[in-house]
Chain A
Amino acid sequence: MTDTTLNHDINHDAHHDEHPRLLKNPLKWAARWVFTTNHKDIGTLYLWLALIMFFVGGAMAMIIRAELFQPGARIVDPELFNQMTTLHGLIMVFGVVMPAMTGLANWQIPMMIGAPDMALPRLNNWSFWILPFAFAILISTLFMSGPAPDFGWTFYAPLSTVYGPPSTDFMVVSIHLLGLSSILGAINIIATIINLRAPGMTWMRMPMFVWTWLITAFLLLAVMPVLAGCVTMVLADRHFGTSFFNPAGGGDPILFQHLFWFFGHPEVYILILPAFGVVSEVIPTFSRKRLFGYHFMVYATVAIAAVSFIVWAHHMFTTGMPIAGELFFMYLTMLVAVPTGVKVFNWVTTMFRGSITFETPMLFALGFLVMFTIGGFSGVMLSLAPADYQYQDTYFVVAHFHYVLVPGSIFGIMAAVYYWLPKWTGHMYNETLGKLHFWLSAIFLNVTFFPMHFLGLAGMPRRIPDYALQFADFNQIASIGAFIFGLSQIIFLVVIVRCILKGKPAGDKPWDGAEGLEWDLPSPPPYHTWMTPPSPALIIDREAEAG
């Protein structure tokens, strides 16, 4: 396989693959990572950052669940509890899912579309290296004399403006940096996909992962500036005497929520669409059958993205919106179920009459499919405005968004890592450990999050550090589930490190059912790939019958 596809230019560049070693030459080693403009290096940096932040944000979740293990004040005071919920949310959204998805995009998009690198390599370096500084600023708030941000990741005014602790300003700066990084990354992805596709890689031949990321990048470009405006207005209200969100000066606290959710709702699709792309790669591979309804999968993704801009106020049904507004946002929100349903039905039909095996990436993709659908069901229930009056701001909502984010986005990322790790490293991961990781994660995330549906319905509000006694049993179950789920993630780290250090050689195409240009490259791929475009014959013609 290798010899047919590996072209001479790559062999020529082989000396690039001799990288400085950390122990032999630490300065050169650091310089390589700091100044790199290589999409594979930058992808690796993004993925490691996401993994580190996953454990940081996860540790905060453990503190939250430990406090809620039993009723009564236990290990943290209510103030610190609020700081933990705030930072857990911000870190998981901005520090884990978004960088991990961008890391996957960096590694995969050039290899999948037959491009030599990202279109804007220096910008790529910059958009990554903003992130460690942004998170250093965000996490530094924990060590300041006042409290860290303590108003939830949604930082509603006036709790974050008039009543926000001084550290709020650091959070504002951090969010600005994160937004900048995301916008630069999105520009780069759009430029790459539009300009650097290999000859023959037409729009309707692009892998689903590339399609979902292209659409995600447009969403990022559209909504991150809105968030930037929103946090700037928070800063102005706090320090420059403005009253955007302060009724005493003619402002409106609800304006904040409109701005935030105009960003926030497309943001949830930013977090999930690339995972849709991953699953659309993994399920066909392990079903040994083409993705069913490729065209409709693309249209459905575009439809979801388009509708995501006009449903934001479903987060605000209880704020006293006029009934016309409530009906508008209710109907449109319900409509999201149609394209999302189309996607789920297509994945299921892809497996139907396939020839299925259950390697770790497939297990994570199946976990995604089952549990994301459960999160979708509770999403439909939440869209019903009258019922939402009872669900809003309860643990039912916590259960819902953790079902779409943990077995949704996070499982999507894990499926991707297990799927492409052999390609990236050239080594096979340990399948037994991978499966153990999957089963522990899948079982205990359900033990953690499923009881939260009951808690919410029975009347437990979210973001409370202590609760009435009738909520005690399910909280205890959820906490036990969370501890084991959290500990299981150490297996993930072990699998990755073992794979890098001493995995068995994986071969260029470890999955016999896989299709796509990345599998035509050696494993690990050379530092520079597709310096000359792949032969158009290698590109899958999705119109033709699968062969």
Chain B
Amino acid sequence: MKVLKTISKLLLSIAVMLISASAWASEIKDARYNMPSGVTSVSREVYGLHMAAFWICVAIGVVVFGVMFYSLIMHRRSRHPEPAKFHQHVWLEITWAVIPLIILIVIAIPATMVLFKMDDTRNSDIVIKVTGYQWKWRYEYLNQGISFFSNLSTPMSQRMNLEPKGPHYLQEVDNPLVVPVGEKIRFLVTANDVIHSWWVPDFGIKQDAIPGFIHEAWAVVDKPGVYRGQCAELCGAGHGFMPIVVVAVSKEDFAKWVTKMTQGKVNAATMLPNKAWTKSELMQKGRQIYKENCAACHQTEGNGLKPLYPALAQDHVVLGPAADEIKLVLTGRPGTPMQDFSNFTDEEIASVVTYTRSSFGNNAHDIVQPADVAQIRKSLGLPEHT
């Protein structure tokens, strides 16, 4: 009785804690407790398979636990003092081996069919290459010539609990992936550094992004909307902070978006190459680029994360000649997480180099112009990229 009292007291206190917790949780409107059925035919079939398997398990559970609890109640010693003596029965053993086998075959058939469907990446309309980086995603539309990085956009202040958290806390990005509905999109998934995993639950896609290898996945999205996912493979300290946001739009809107993205690039190429930038312009642009592309490793305040990610504050390369830093950014450092950023434009590299040289207590006081970057790019034998 004493034990029962203690347990009931404990249960009561837990209940109180849970009620207070759920009062807090009631602010969240979009809570889901099951797998989403999603917006692709594959995701719906996977959901169907999941629910079928679940209900089969429930049915087996009811039978097994039913017999078990029947025995526990009816055959407890106080009710059933004389135990039976039987202890073997070959046909019973064979029966309860064969019945589960049949059930398994019944589930295996639809599972096999869905698997074949998932595997069929032929006849795609659009090909998008997805590359995982520590800790961001890069999307390249191979036929449209569009390419950009997608970074977590939740501000640090929300993560550090200094501001209230937004509705899409940790599941929002600066540049979402934009796809058209109704077209077969083929994703080519790879990684630049460690293994990541590109997961969008509503598409039924989870594909590990493996450095050195390209794997495929596909989706035809039925419904316009915003679909959110996260990196699913542990990839280092920023693993929880590289979400995936896909915006599915109508074909017309997608065409408009493609035009906008490609034209902007043409303008930049024709208008800017010889412009001399002021330091404040470079610093402002550099701060933005640094935040999106460098801060994940080198940290917002340039302190780095020892031992893998060196601090930029008082770093000998950053404090040395600008040409060395530009070279390092363009070529990366093989064998380390420092990738090459030669896919960035001259003015992007110029501004981020300028920014690092005059921030975090570094005071180089110099300005790096896009033309300087272009020159070094040339000397390294790299293609122009303005």
- Measured CB to CB, the residues of A under 8 A from B are 71-74, 77-79, 82, 146-147, 150-152, 156, 158-159, 162-163, 165-166, 246-248, 252-254, 287-296, 318-320, 323, 326-327, 330-331, 334-335, 337-339, 341-342, 344-346, 348-358, 366, 369-370, 373-374, 377-378, 380-381, 384-387, 389-390, 392-394, 432, 435-436, 439-440, 443, 447, 454, 457-459, 461-470, 472-474, 476-477, 480, 484, 545-546
Q: Is A326's CB under 8 angstroms from B82's CB?
A: no
Which of A337, A385, A545 has the most chain B CB within a 10 Å cutoff?
A385
Is A289 a contact of B210 with CB atoms below 8 Å? no
Distance in angstroms from B227 CB to nearest chain A CB is 11
Q: Which of B33, B45, B240 is A465 in contact with, Cβ under 8 Å?
A: B240
B82 CB contacts on chain A under 8 angstroms: 355
B32 touches A381 (CB 8 A): no
B86-137 interface (Cβ within 8 A of A): 86-89, 92-93, 96-97, 100-101, 104, 107-108, 111-112, 114-116, 118-119, 134
B96 near A150 (CB under 8 angstroms)? no
Given that A320-B210, A469-B28 are contacting pairs, would A457 and B34 also be in contact in the complex, using a CB cutoff of 8 Å? yes
Smallest distance from the beta carbon of A251 to chain B beta carbons, Å? 8
Closest to A460 in B: B230
- Nearest-neighbour CB distance to chain A for B281, whole angstroms, equals 34
Docked-complex contact A247 and B213, CB < 8 angstroms: yes
A480-B14, A546-B85 known; A338 and B7 CB under 8 Å?
no
Return the chain A residue nearest B57 by Cβ.
A377
B274 CB within 8 Å of chain A: no
> Can you name 7 A-B pairs with beta carbons within 8 Å?
A163-B337, A248-B212, A384-B111, A392-B197, A392-B206, A459-B230, A545-B85
Which range holds the interface residue count of chain B? 35 or more
Q: Check B275 for interface membership: any CB of A closer than 8 A.
A: no
* Interface hub of B193, B199, B306 (most chain A Cβ within 10 A): B199
CB distance from B176 to the nearest CB of A (A): 16
The one of A159, A338, A351, A358 in contact with B97, judged by C-beta atoms closer than 8 angstroms, is: A338
The answer for the CA separation of A380 and B50 in the assembled complex, in Å, is 10
Contact A477 B18 (CB under 8 A): yes
Verify if B307 is at the interface (C-beta below 8 Å from A).
yes
B contact residues vs A (CB 8 Å cutoff): 2-3, 6-7, 10-11, 14, 17-18, 21-22, 24-25, 27-28, 30-36, 42, 45-46, 49-50, 53-54, 57, 60-61, 64-65, 67-68, 71-72, 75-77, 80-89, 92-93, 96-97, 100-101, 104, 107-108, 111-112, 114-116, 118-119, 134, 158-161, 165, 167-171, 189, 193-195, 197, 199, 201, 204-208, 210-213, 215-216, 228-241, 305-308, 334-337
CA distance A353 to B194 in the complex (A): 57
Q: Min CB distance, B108 to chain A, in Å?
A: 6
**Inter-subunit contact A289/B115 (CB<8 Å):** no
Q: Which residues of B contact A480 (CB under 8 A)?
A: 14, 17-18, 21
CB distance B83 to A354 under 8 Å?
yes
- Specify which of A326, A369, A467 is in contact with B170 (CB 8 Å cutoff): A467
Q: Given contacts A159-B195, A291-B87, A348-B67, are A432 and B80 in contact (CB under 8 A)?
A: no
Is B77's CB under 8 angstroms from A254's CB? no
Question: What is the minimal beta-carbon distance from A508 to any residue of chain B, in angstroms?
Answer: 21
Residue picked from A151, A158, A469, most chain B C-beta under 10 Å: A469
Alpha-carbon distance between A344 and B7 when the two chains are bound, in angstroms: 29
Contact B206 A72 (CB under 8 A): no
Beyond A341-B100, A356-B77, A386-B118, whether A156 also contacts B195 by CB under 8 A is yes
Beta-carbon nearest neighbor of B7 in chain A: A439
**Contact of A353 with B80 in the complex, beta carbons under 8 Å:** yes
Residue of chain B at shortest CB distance from A155 = B234
Shortest C-beta distance, A406 to chain B (Å), equals 19
Q: Are A457 and B33 in contact (CB under 8 A)?
A: yes
CB–CB A353/B84 < 8 A: yes
* A386 and B60 within 8 A (CB): no
The residues of B that contact A463 with a CB separation of less than 8 Å are 234, 239-240
- With both beta carbons as reference points, the residue of chain B lying nearest to A382 in the complex is identified as B53
B368 to chain A, nearest CB (A): 29
Assess whether A384 is in contact with B53, with CB atoms less than 8 Å apart: yes
Residue of A nearest to B31 (CB): A470
In the complex, chain A residues whose CB is within 8 Å of the CB of B118: 386, 389
Which residues of chain B come closer than 8 Å to A443, judged between CB atoms?
Answer: 7, 11
A150 to B206 Cα, complex, angstroms: 23
**Which residue on chain A has the smallest CB distance to residue B22?**
A473
Which residue on chain B has the smallest CB distance to residue A162? B335
Interface pair A366/B72, CB less than 8 Å apart: yes
Q: Chain B: which residue is nearest A463 at the CB level?
A: B234
Assuming the contacts A320-B208, A465-B240, asked whether A354 and B71 have C-beta atoms less than 8 A apart, the reply is yes
Pairwise interchain contact A253-B212, C-beta atoms closer than 8 A: yes
Report yes or no: B68 in contact with A369, Cβ–Cβ below 8 A.
yes
Separation in Å of the A141 CB from the closest CB of chain B?
13
5 closest residue pairs by CB, A with B: A247-B212, A320-B215, A464-B240, A473-B25, A290-B87
